[in-house]
């Protein structure tokens, strides 16, 4: 930077590997202490920062004693920092972190909306209409009624705090994508209960509306008390169970099958699953959920952040730490589609 050039706070999407930045202003959430792996003692701070161009998990090594309670109470921070190259390529570490009051102009922090909300909404509703089983259909219509607060919350909630679909409408987009993948696989594989699978796919992350609380104007996402203690998998299963109990004649067997698919959709207990998948439909759902999240991480690297000249399309992604993933082909195909 020339000596007298004014410093401009960088947007997250502008940061490139090797960059050093100053006076970045971001909203902050989900702070936690993490122990160093190769040291006996000591912690560093990990938190999520965001602006209206995206969100990233970042580390702060120079304030290890930072009170998490203080950071929990904060919405905005100002900091300097750098983006790593080499082994930890892409990792952002913060320095000189300060908690600041909310800026007057919050437009920079507003949570962005998913690409084509109306198209995602239409796809989701079309998938509901393909369910033929009268019990599942009644349940989906009851839960996803468009006249209530529930639909507004479901359709505007992000699917995650960071990593994938972490924007307004992300949950709607991700749930529809998972259901569409499941539908294609149900058509390609023998003897799959398609209606159970599609219904569970549309509902699989519904617990996120109780797990997270979002302030769209400042973009802050926080876990709720229920979210921390119970988590979206069990919360979602409870939402579905109580909705099924309100529908006259809803067979308990179908309710339990649906609950099983929701409880097992993270595949393994180490990823938060309350049960391992124990039927073909549960296996398909957990694989499609995983696929949607990972491909979304690749897709996000094809956007602003993907400085192709520097990276050649190779990135460290959260699902493959310590490994590089190539997104150059995806970037080319995306550019071709957009040019059409």
54-79 residues labelled b (16+ CB within 10 A) or e (exposed): bbbebbbebbeebeeeebeebbbbbb
Q: How far is the CB of 174 from Fe ion (least distance, A)?
A: 6
Enumerate residues 6+ apart whose C-beta is below 8 A from 217. Answer: 106, 109, 110
Among 51, 177, 195, 205, binds Fe ion (CB under 5 A): 205
Give 142-156 as a 3 state SS string: HHCCCCCHHHHHHHH
Residue 102 tokens, joined = 């909310």
Q: How far is the CB of 297 from Fe ion (least distance, A)?
A: 13
The 282-321 contact track toward Fe ion, x by CB under 5 A, reads -------x--------------------------------
Tell me 269's DSSP state.
G
User: Considering beta carbons, is residue 51 or 289 the nearer one to Fe ion?
Assistant: 289
User: Considering beta carbons, is residue 173 or 289 the nearer one to Fe ion?
Assistant: 289
User: Considering beta carbons, is residue 193 or 205 the nearer one to Fe ion?
Assistant: 205
Q: How far is the CB of 160 from Fe ion (least distance, A)?
A: 8
Q: How far is the CB of 289 from Fe ion (least distance, A)?
A: 4
Enumerate residues 6+ apart whose C-beta is below 8 A from 30. Answer: 47, 48, 161, 221, 222, 223
Give the helix/strand (H/E) hosting 99: strand 92-100
210 in contact with Fe ion (CB under 5 A): no
Q: Are 157 and 209 in contact (CB under 8 A)?
A: yes
Residue 249 tokens, joined = 């004649």
User: Considering beta carbons, is residue 85 or 287 the nearer one to Fe ion?
Assistant: 287
User: Considering beta carbons, is residue 205 or 281 the nearer one to Fe ion?
Assistant: 205
Q: How far is the CB of 266 from Fe ion (least distance, A)?
A: 6
Q: How far is the CB of 73 from Fe ion (least distance, A)?
A: 28
User: Considering beta carbons, is residue 135 or 232 the nearer one to Fe ion?
Assistant: 232
Q: Cα-atom radius of gyration of the chain, to the nearest Å?
A: 21
Residue 255 tokens, joined = 């309710």
User: Considering beta carbons, is residue 47 or 178 the nearer one to Fe ion?
Assistant: 178
User: Considering beta carbons, is residue 97 or 261 the nearer one to Fe ion?
Assistant: 261
The rounded distance, in Å, linking the Cα atoms of 230 and 224 is: 10
* Diameter over CA atoms, the chain: 74
State the number of binding residues for Fe ion (CB under 5 A): 2
Q: How far is the CB of 262 from Fe ion (least distance, A)?
A: 9
Q: How far is the CB of 114 from Fe ion (least distance, A)?
A: 15
Residue 120 tokens, joined = 């995602």
Q: Are 31 and 71 in contact (CB under 8 A)?
A: yes
User: Which positions touch Fe ion (CB under 5 A)?
Assistant: 205, 289
């Amino acid at each position: 930077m020339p000596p007298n050039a004014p410093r401009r706070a960088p947007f997250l999407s502008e940061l490139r590997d090797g960059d050093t930045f100053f006076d970045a202003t971001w909203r902050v959430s989900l702070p936690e202490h993490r122990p160093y792996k190769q040291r006996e003692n000591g912690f560093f701070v990990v938190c999520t920062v965001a602006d209206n161009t995206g969100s990233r998990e970042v580390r702060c090594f120079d304030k290890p004693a930072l009170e998490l309670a203080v950071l929990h109470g904060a919405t905005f921070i100002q900091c300097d920092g750098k983006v790593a190259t080499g082994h930890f390529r892409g990792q952002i570490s913060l320095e000189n972190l300060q908690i600041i009051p909310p800026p007057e102009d919050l437009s920079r922090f507003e949570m962005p909306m998913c690409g084509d909300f109306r198209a995602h909404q239409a796809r989701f509703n079309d998938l509901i209409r393909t369910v033929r089983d009268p019990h599942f259909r009644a349940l989906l219509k009851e839960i996803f009624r468009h006249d209530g607060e529930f639909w507004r919350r479901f359709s505007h909630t992000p699917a995650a705090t960071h990593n994938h679909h972490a924007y307004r409408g992300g949950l709607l987009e991700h749930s529809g994508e998972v259901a569409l993948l499941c539908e294609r696989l149900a058509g390609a594989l023998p003897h799959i209960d398609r209606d159970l699978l599609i219904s569970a796919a549309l509902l699989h992350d519904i617990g996120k509306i109780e797990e997270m609380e979002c302030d769209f104007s400042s973009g802050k996402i926080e876990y709720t008390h229920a979210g921390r203690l119970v988590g979206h998998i069990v919360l979602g299963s409870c939402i579905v169970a109580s909705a099924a109990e309100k529908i006259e004649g809803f067979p308990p067997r179908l309710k339990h099958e649906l609950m099983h698919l929701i409880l097992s959709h993270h595949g393994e207990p180490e990823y938060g699953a309350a049960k391992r998948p124990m039927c073909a439909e549960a296996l398909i759902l957990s694989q499609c959920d995983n696929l949607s999240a990972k491909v979304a991480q690749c897709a996000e690297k094809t956007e602003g952040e993907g400085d192709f000249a520097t990276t050649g399309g190779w990135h460290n992604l959260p699902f493959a730490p310590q490994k590089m993933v190539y997104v150059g082909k995806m970037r080319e195909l995306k550019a071709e589609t957009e040019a059409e």
